[in-house]
């Protein structure tokens, strides 16, 4: 994910909002903007992650987050049932 805006933004991906420092998967504090975070799920199961966007000091304003998701299941020569099972 990448941000764009006119202020100093920060992005973090965490698994527990009550313990962000202990569960941070990825984070970036680009200056002045354009923070980027990357994460690849290491296992076959699903995982819930939270995106935290914040600003430095009095930094505030509108921003845009761009990102993409890729399927974790290979679709090469797979049956329709196997593809559907990857999203359950």
Cα angle for residues 86, 2, 84 (degrees, 5° grid): 10
State the number of CA atoms in the 13 A half-sphere of 66 facing the CB: 5
Q: Indicate whether 58 pLDDT > 90.
A: no
Q: Indicate whether 88 pLDDT > 60.
A: yes
Boundaries of every domain in the chain:
2-85
Q: How do residues 63-72 score in pLDDT, each as one tens digit?
A: 777 777 766 6
Q: How many CB atoms lie within 10 A of CB 13?
A: 19
Instruction: Give the pTM.
Output: 0.62
**Alpha-helical segments (H) within the chain:** 20-23, 80-85
């Amino acid at each position: 994910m990448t941000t764009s805006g006119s202020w100093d933004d920060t992005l973090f991906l965490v698994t527990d909002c009550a313990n962000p420092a202990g569960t941070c998967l990825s984070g970036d504090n680009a200056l002045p903007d354009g923070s980027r975070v990357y994460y690849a799920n290491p296992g076959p199961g699903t995982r819930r992650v939270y995106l935290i966007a914040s600003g430095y000091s009095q930094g505030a304003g509108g921003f845009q987050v761009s990102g993409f998701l890729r399927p974790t299941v290979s679709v090469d020569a797979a049956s329709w049932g196997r593809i559907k099972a990857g999203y359950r």
